Chains A and B, each alone.
Chain A
């Protein structure tokens, strides 16, 4: 009996240890495929640049894209000589609590400047930390207002949610895409709620009629029949979807089985829907979205970034990758302009960066002549895109 008990205990131990081993392997993996973090790693010669993002979990597509984009930028900059970066990304699985742990790990590593977090909820948590610790942070893609609110050293590379919402409403009204609009949004997500609130306010102002306004949340994000039939029976010509692509893919599938085919309008979270394994691109045909980045652009810098990204990671970069790439280059420009050196302390760098970012103008892949105001919000103009034959095509 004792022996049996011992055996099962051993087996359980083996199970747990194998998981721990897998976990450890995962931790090492990013370092090996990101040579960026090693060559310039002598302490004191490179700026330690850290960020957290969902590298695993439901939102992993954003975290990995941002990490990959930043890695390419860091490698390019390190190869140029001059300013050197040492990049480290920690996994936060799109969870605020884990993001703070990940942030603490970066702090133990002596991070000097931060890329914040990739998604909004975790970034709100890490922004409070970077604010308290006086570490400058520039997030590629966390777009909610609460991320930057009341923090002088937190900046965004992406549009703020309110801007996305009002820009979408403006775009729909300007192009006369619809007069009756339905909105389906996720009411337990700051990202979705932020866009929804400003979208509806702006739509009212512009005379767009919101005929149906329905929500879902984490626990009931599978069945959308009620929301869709609400939009359908109220005669909406366009359905606005301020959400990530995973629930959106279910909405498209269910609408198609209801024979409901309105115009669809998404936001930056829709980016990624075409790379979902097994997704039928026909369902997303004609989906419009505003995004600051167009991978098909003929612009020389964009083309070379897309080429480098495809060679290294075997996929077309989305706007999260481009935003992160821009973040690293914006840091390079600001650090050079301020004459910073890697031996400066994080809080000294923080003051210099705040000064630079509020005064400089930056040209990147996601916009020309970007500027930041003191609140940390960026000003740049979005591009309208539509999905045609399974690829993004510029609308204008």
Chain B
């Protein structure tokens, strides 16, 4: 039973990583850039939702929608101001800019909302489902997170595979120049990618804080890095890979804590990551792209 309890704990932690990793992988897959500010957009989303629910007593659903709206706009503004001017620059420059944006958002949050930690009211309640006469419990937050992960993953797969916009995105990801020659508006497409990625970040932020309810301006940064790891683990750019990577990372982390050592859990997680990348350099579900010369 304790094994199953740990498994459930791992899955609930992993589902949070997965939902953040989906946003990372989506932006990387299309725009080919690591948006390190993703974790901080998550934090902004959580704050918007927090204020909507506890200060203005709006219903949770409205809070979530408002957070998604604000984050979508924020994502597009950041892309327009900080990343678009660097479209032709080397990818390292964009990476550094992303780190800069991340610090900007954190410090802006510090000024706007102060550093005092806030306790986030769970948007899905604190209820739980008890199985086997109460020996196993699964919180509603976990169930909602896993369901949202799967729904988002399916929706993104469908969107990038079947819709016109999605096809345009994939075209941009393969070759920006050629896509432009085919009449695709590359800038609008990338902007759209950021809008979607940031909207997803808002959902991730709300679910992250519902599961682990303290909210500070650095709330998003550590889970953001773990989720980035999860995305690499699953194969960055691959949407199902993000889900798989997130879940595995969560489960490994909890098992390492439970059965090996609480002190070494992070070291073990990253050791597993290194082994996986040695065997499969593109990640679990990543595609090996052969450069044609």
Could you list which residues of chain A lie within 8 angstroms of chain B, going by C-beta atoms? 5, 8-9, 11-12, 15, 19, 22-23, 26, 54, 56-58, 60-61, 187, 214-223, 225-227, 229-230, 233, 246, 249-250, 253, 257-259, 275-280
- Taking the closest CB of chain B, its distance from the CB of A53, in whole angstroms, is 12
- Taking the closest CB of chain A, its distance from the CB of B158, in whole angstroms, is 31
Kindly report which residue of chain A lies nearest to residue B261, judged by CB atoms.
Answer: A215
Question: Which residues of chain B have C-beta atoms less than 8 A from A222's C-beta?
Answer: 13, 211-212, 222-223
Question: Which residues of chain B have C-beta atoms less than 8 A from A57's C-beta?
Answer: 110, 115
Within 8 A of A (CB), among B82-128: 82, 84-85, 104, 107-108, 110-111, 114-121, 126, 128
Question: Which residues of chain A have C-beta atoms less than 8 A from B213's C-beta?
Answer: 249-250, 253
Question: Which residues of chain B have C-beta atoms less than 8 A from A22's C-beta?
Answer: 108, 111
Pick from B85, B107, B263: contact of A9, CB below 8 A.
Answer: B85
Extra 19 A-B pairs, beta carbons < 8 Å, given A225-B9, A229-B5? A12-B85, A19-B104, A19-B107, A22-B108, A57-B115, A215-B262, A220-B257, A223-B212, A223-B253, A225-B5, A226-B9, A230-B258, A233-B2, A246-B117, A249-B117, A253-B213, A276-B119, A277-B119, A278-B119
Kindly report which residue of chain B lies nearest to residue A22, judged by CB atoms.
Answer: B111
Pick from B108, B137, B211, B216: contact of A246, CB below 8 A.
Answer: B216
Question: Which residues of chain A have C-beta atoms less than 8 A from B211's C-beta?
Answer: 222
- Taking the closest CB of chain A, its distance from the CB of B288, in whole angstroms, is 30
Q: Is the CB of B118 within 8 A of A278?
A: yes
Task: Kindly state the separation between the CA atoms of A226 and B212 in the bound complex, as whole angstroms.
Answer: 14
Q: Is the CB of B126 within 8 A of A219?
A: no
A–B Cβ pairs within 8 angstroms, 7 of them: A12-B81, A217-B266, A219-B226, A222-B222, A250-B213, A277-B118, A278-B120
B139 within 8 A of A: yes
Task: Kindly state the separation between the CA atoms of A278 and B6 in the bound complex, as whole angstroms.
Answer: 29
Question: Which residues of chain A have C-beta atoms less than 8 A from B266's C-beta?
Answer: 217, 219-220
Q: Is the CB of B115 within 8 A of A56?
A: yes
Question: Which residues of chain A have C-beta atoms less than 8 A from B84's C-beta?
Answer: 8
- Taking the closest CB of chain B, its distance from the CB of A199, in whole angstroms, is 17
Task: Kindly state the separation between the CA atoms of A61 and B6 in the bound complex, as whole angstroms.
Answer: 34
Given contacts A5-B85, A58-B117, A226-B262, contact A220 B139 (CB under 8 A): no
Task: Kindly state the separation between the CA atoms of A221 and B223 in the bound complex, as whole angstroms.
Answer: 10
Task: Kindly state the separation between the CA atoms of A5 and B81 in the bound complex, as whole angstroms.
Answer: 10
Q: Is the CB of B126 within 8 A of A257?
A: yes
Q: Is the CB of B115 within 8 A of A12?
A: no
Question: Which residues of chain B have C-beta atoms less than 8 A from A218's C-beta?
Answer: 222
Task: Kindly state the separation between the CA atoms of A187 and B269 in the bound complex, as whole angstroms.
Answer: 17
Question: Which residues of chain A have C-beta atoms less than 8 A from B115's C-beta?
Answer: 54, 56-58, 60
Q: Is the CB of B262 within 8 A of A216?
A: yes
Task: Kindly state the separation between the CA atoms of A216 and B264 in the bound complex, as whole angstroms.
Answer: 9
Kindly report which residue of chain B lies nearest to residue A247, judged by CB atoms.
Answer: B214
| B3-17 interface code vs A (CB 8 A; 1 in, 0 out) | 001100100010000
Which 7 pairs, one residue from A and one from B, show the smallest C-beta to C-beta distance? A278-B119, A225-B9, A222-B212, A60-B115, A226-B257, A214-B262, A279-B119
Question: Which residues of chain A have C-beta atoms less than 8 A from B126's C-beta?
Answer: 257
What is the interface size of chain B, counting residues whose CB is below 8 A from a CB of the partner?
48
Question: Which residues of chain B have C-beta atoms less than 8 A from A259's C-beta?
Answer: 134, 137
Question: Which residues of chain A have C-beta atoms less than 8 A from B253's C-beta?
Answer: 220, 223
Q: Is the CB of A258 within 8 A of B222?
A: no
Q: Is the CB of B116 within 8 A of A278?
A: no
Q: Is the CB of A11 within 8 A of B118?
A: no
Q: Is the CB of A58 within 8 A of B139?
A: no
- Taking the closest CB of chain B, its distance from the CB of A385, in whole angstroms, is 21
B218 within 8 A of A: yes
Kindly report which residue of chain A lies nearest to residue B9, judged by CB atoms.
Answer: A225
Task: Kindly state the separation between the CA atoms of A198 and B186 in the bound complex, as whole angstroms.
Answer: 62
Question: Which residues of chain B have C-beta atoms less than 8 A from A250's C-beta?
Answer: 212-214
Q: Is the CB of B9 within 8 A of A223?
A: yes
Pick from B108, B257, B263: contact of A19, CB below 8 A.
Answer: B108
Given contacts A216-B262, A223-B9, A246-B214, contact A276 B81 (CB under 8 A): no
Question: Which residues of chain B have C-beta atoms less than 8 A from A257's C-beta?
Answer: 126, 128, 137, 139
Task: Kindly state the separation between the CA atoms of A220 and B256 in the bound complex, as whole angstroms.
Answer: 12
| B199-229 interface code vs A (CB 8 A; 1 in, 0 out) | 0000000000001111010100011011000
Task: Kindly state the separation between the CA atoms of A148 and B111 in the bound complex, as whole angstroms.
Answer: 34
Pick from B5, B121, B223: contact of A278, CB below 8 A.
Answer: B121
Question: Which residues of chain A have C-beta atoms less than 8 A from B216's C-beta?
Answer: 58, 246
Q: Is the CB of B258 within 8 A of A226?
A: yes
Question: Which residues of chain B have C-beta atoms less than 8 A from A226's C-beta?
Answer: 6, 9, 254, 257-258, 262
Kindly report which residue of chain A lies nearest to residue B250, judged by CB atoms.
Answer: A223
Task: Kindly state the separation between the CA atoms of A57 and B119 in the bound complex, as whole angstroms.
Answer: 16
- Taking the closest CB of chain A, its distance from the CB of B211, in whole angstroms, is 8
- Taking the closest CB of chain B, its distance from the CB of A392, in whole angstroms, is 19
Question: Which residues of chain B have C-beta atoms less than 8 A from A221's C-beta?
Answer: 222
- Taking the closest CB of chain A, its distance from the CB of B253, in whole angstroms, is 7
Kindly report which residue of chain A lies nearest to residue B134, judged by CB atoms.
Answer: A259
Kindly report which residue of chain A lies nearest to residue B215, judged by CB atoms.
Answer: A278
Task: Kindly state the separation between the CA atoms of A12 and B226 in the bound complex, as whole angstroms.
Answer: 29
- Taking the closest CB of chain B, its distance from the CB of A33, in whole angstroms, is 15
Task: Kindly state the separation between the CA atoms of A280 and B54 in the bound complex, as whole angstroms.
Answer: 13
Question: Which residues of chain B have C-beta atoms less than 8 A from A278's C-beta?
Answer: 50, 54, 118-121
